[in-house]
Amino acid sequence: MSGSALDPKTAPVFPMAARAAMKDGQLRRNVRHATDVIQAKRARVVAEMPDWQELREAGKQIRQHTMENLDFYLEEFEANCTRAGGMVHWARDAAEARQIIVGLVKDSGSDEVIKIKSMTTEEIQLNSALEAAGIHPYETDLAELIIQLGHDQPSHIVVPALHKNRQQIREIFRREMNLPELGERPEDLADAARTFLREKFLRVKTGVSGANFLIAETGGVCIVESEGNGRMCLTLPETLITVAGIDKVVPRFADLEVLFQLLPRSATGERMNPYNSIWTGVNAADGPHAFHVVLMDNARTEILGDVEARQTLNCIRCGACQNACPVYRQTGGHAYGSVYAGPIGAILTPQLQEMHHAQSLPYASSLCGACYEVCPVKINIPEVLIHLRNKVVKQNGPLNVEAFAMKMMGMIFLSEQRFRAAQRMGRMAEAPLVRRDEKGEGWIGWLPGILGGWTKVRDLQEMPQETFRDWWEKRGPHGS
């Protein structure tokens, strides 16, 4: 994958991108290994919790309740954050968010920023906007640093460089940090990142972050992370700019008691991730002197308005569905053409594009339900996938082949007469295609046109000479 940003507007359709990804054996081995490790860890720490299902249900209900009262909780967050010395900005779309953030960085007097990993900033392609304005962004999360230095793109929402193995990471660091002697133990690589970034943490005066949770009750913001790079960016700069989707709000501080249990165990298979930071506005004696929050819509209200798809917004970005998905595990994340890959990406990405792009993603699933089973807030992803497939078909109009075929099927199934006629016709039509095996059973190995998709990978048994209905009618009154 090259350095061009993952943009659903220009990405190839999923089946094409997936075919290309499937040819990369190294990528598939890396993704399979990483997702195997993370799934085993998750399973172990989830099994420790006797009340896991009760936590999932509470998580779902908290998120659902928040979405139903979203305007109230956002206004409450804004009032409390402002009271505590924060500045709240609102952005209708990605362009407006980029414009606000670039302006705030310029106002801070800095031409560089240190960044915490944030999929929201990836979603709005903030880094290229900053660079275009002459501002250098330093990614400080280890995985994001690997991506940035490797001119790569994120392939997972929690572990963006999951598709790279240690040898590949060593090559990137050797080249970009000019460290010819660098070893390939993960410890060596982490040490190299520590040294490379230390000076930037101590020097750069402006930080940019996403947010895991915005707390309406207190106006506080919460970030969960592992490395401490987040704490560096939140604590040491003079100015901190946080960008968050409007879906990130939670009603009360106490709600974190549920989310702090669900998120780490689902995301990285840890009982708790190494660091959680909570801060509220500006504190004169501790941390940045200026704090801005950019609340961004960028089509989230479109999702909110679709009652059947609204649960998409409940997502807390743990990535468990990606690790569990048999499709993602084969293709990796880049094939989805979006920073949100895997099952959650298959429902989130097309909706963030207001169904104008990424229409192939709702089909990038076998509907096996593994994603639903591991989701910490019980998002019924298969249900939303089917709903979105319906939307795609409706949107494409009644003249497309699938919609037409389904309509015809519907007509046939509605009438007994038509159904019987169709069966008779089917038996006549298939006759020239049937060949018999040694047991005398008939099989069809080739079908014409779009039906050929079925017979390309498996044979179809011929239709029986006698249907159940025929047999039922022929049998005597006592079943003889």
Q: Does 268 bind another protein (CB under 8 A)?
A: yes
Nearer Cβ to another protein (39/423): 39
Q: Which is nearer to another protein, 374 or 444 (CB)?
A: 374
Helices 166-176 and 186-203 pack at an angle, to 10 degrees, of 40
Instruction: Kindly state whether residue 287 participates in binding another protein, applying the rule CB under 8 A.
Output: yes
Q: Please give the C-alpha separations between residue 440 and each of 423, 435, 457, 461, in angstroms, as whole numbers.
A: 21, 9, 22, 12
Q: CB of residue 258 vs another protein: minimum separation in angstroms?
A: 7
CA–CA separation, 223 vs 310, rounded Å?
24
Q: Return the residue of 7, 112, 171, 274 that touches another protein, per CB under 8 A.
A: 274
Angle between helices 256-267 and 25-47 (to 10 degrees): 140
Nearer to another protein, 302 or 430 (CB): 302
Q: Which of 8, 1, 2, 6 is nearest to 349 (CA)?
A: 8
- C-beta of 295 vs 339, nearer to another protein: 295
| Structural contact between residues 382 and 372, judged by C-beta atoms closer than 8 angstroms | yes
Q: Which residues between 79 and 108 bind another protein (CB under 8 A)?
A: 84, 89-96, 98-99
Helices (H), 113-185: 119-123, 126-132, 142-149, 166-176
Determine, following the binding rule CB under 8 A, whether residue 304 of this chain makes contact with another protein.
yes
Stretch near another protein under the rule CB under 8 A, chosen from 19-27, 141-149, 367-375, 461-469? 141-149
Edge to edge, the sheet with strand 239-245 lists 87-91, 290-296, 239-245, 206-209, 112-115, 136-139
Q: Report the residue number, 246 or 347, with the smaller CB distance to another protein.
A: 246
Q: Which of 172, 258, 339, 352 binds another protein (CB under 8 A)?
A: 258
In the complex, least distance from residue 342 CB atom to another protein, rounded to whole angstroms: 15
**Residue from the set 6, 46, 70, 341 that interacts with another protein by CB under 8 A:** 70
251/369 with CB nearer another protein: 251
Q: Is 466 in the site for another protein (CB under 8 A)?
A: no
How many CB atoms are located within 10 Å of the residue 117 CB?
28
Which one of residues 8, 11, 14, 73 is an interface residue with another protein (CB under 8 A)?
73
Q: Is 368 in the site for another protein (CB under 8 A)?
A: no
Q: Rule CB under 8 A: say whether 314 interacts with another protein.
A: no
Q: Which is nearer to another protein, 93 or 402 (CB)?
A: 93
Q: Closest approach of Cβ 139 to another protein, in Å?
A: 12
Q: Is 386 in the site for another protein (CB under 8 A)?
A: no
Of 272, 290, 412, 460, the residue at the interface with another protein (CB under 8 A) is 272
**What sign has the CA pseudo-torsion 179, 183, 189, 192?**
negative
The minimum distance between CB 372 and another protein, in angstroms, equals 19
Instruction: Considering only CA atoms, give the Rg of the chain.
Output: 26
- Interacting positions 171-200 with another protein (CB under 8 A): 186-187, 189-191, 193-194, 197-198
Choose between 286 and 437: whose C-beta lies nearer to another protein: 286
Contact criterion met (CB below 8 Å) for 174 and 167: no
Q: Which of 299, 325, 324 shows the shortest CA–CA distance to 312?
A: 299
Residues in the chain: 480
Q: How far is the CB of 403 from another protein (least distance, A)?
A: 20
Helical packing angle, 142-149 and 186-203, nearest 10°: 90
Q: Confirm or reject binding of residue 46 to another protein (CB under 8 A).
A: no
Binders of another protein in range 332-351 (CB under 8 A): none
Binding mask 11-40 for another protein (x = CB under 8 A): -------------------x--xxx-xx--
**d(C-alpha 107, C-alpha 104), whole Å:** 5
Determine the residue type at 18.
A
- Rule CB under 8 A: is residue 353 a binding residue for another protein? no
What stretch of H or E contains 88? strand 87-91
Build a one-symbol-per-residue string for 227-256: x at contacts with another protein by CB under 8 A, - elsewhere. Answer: xxx-xx-xxx---------x----xxxx-x
Token output for 194: 């520590």
Element (H, E) at 106: helix 94-107
List, in sequence order, every residue forming a beta bridge with 366; answer none if it has no partner. Answer: none
202 is a site residue for another protein (CB under 8 A)? yes
Which residues are within 8 A (CB) of 67 and not within 5 positions of it... i.e. 6 or more apart? 247, 304, 310, 313, 314
**Shortest Cβ 364–another protein spacing (Å):** 23
| Range 50-69, binding another protein (CB under 8 A) | 50-51, 54-55, 57-58, 61-62, 65, 67-69
Kindly state whether residue 148 participates in binding another protein, applying the rule CB under 8 A.
Answer: no
Q: Which helix (H) or strand (E) holds 294?
A: strand 290-296
Among residues 238, 228, 242, the alpha carbon closest in space to that of 287 is found at: 238
